[in-house]
Amino acid sequence: MTIYVTVTVDLNGSVSQTARAKFNEYLRGQNYAKHKLTTLWTAWFLPGNTIDSAVSFTRATVAAAARAAGISNYEALVMPGEQQPTEWRQ
């Protein structure tokens, strides 16, 4: 089964545009796709992965992105599931 994760991350404090760009670049490099919604990312994991492993990988990836960007204060929420997220604009 393919596992999809949706993660939103708020970079707290006065994070510079340079740090924000580095953070975003790191996540993109790990195959997370940024949505137009300001802090929303998604990724998918191949069959054979577990929900726990997808959440653990996401947590580690967000932490590594924050370290790479010099960000020490952030909040994140991840929602794993078997259904691909639906996005729309109006």
Q: CATH number, domain at 47?
A: 3.30.70.240
Look up the domain containing 24 and give its range.
3-81
CB 4 within 8 A of CB 86: no
Mean pLDDT computed over every residue of the chain: 89
What does the pLDDT average to over 34-63? Answer: 90
Q: Is 38 within a domain?
A: yes
Q: Is 25 within a domain?
A: yes
| Confidence band for 44, pLDDT divided at 50, 70 and 90 | very high
What's the domain count of the chain?
1
Q: How high is the pLDDT of residue 63? A: 97
The reply to whether the predicted model has a pTM over 0.85 is: no
Tell me how far apart the alpha carbons of residues 84 and 69 are, in angstroms, rounded to a whole number: 29
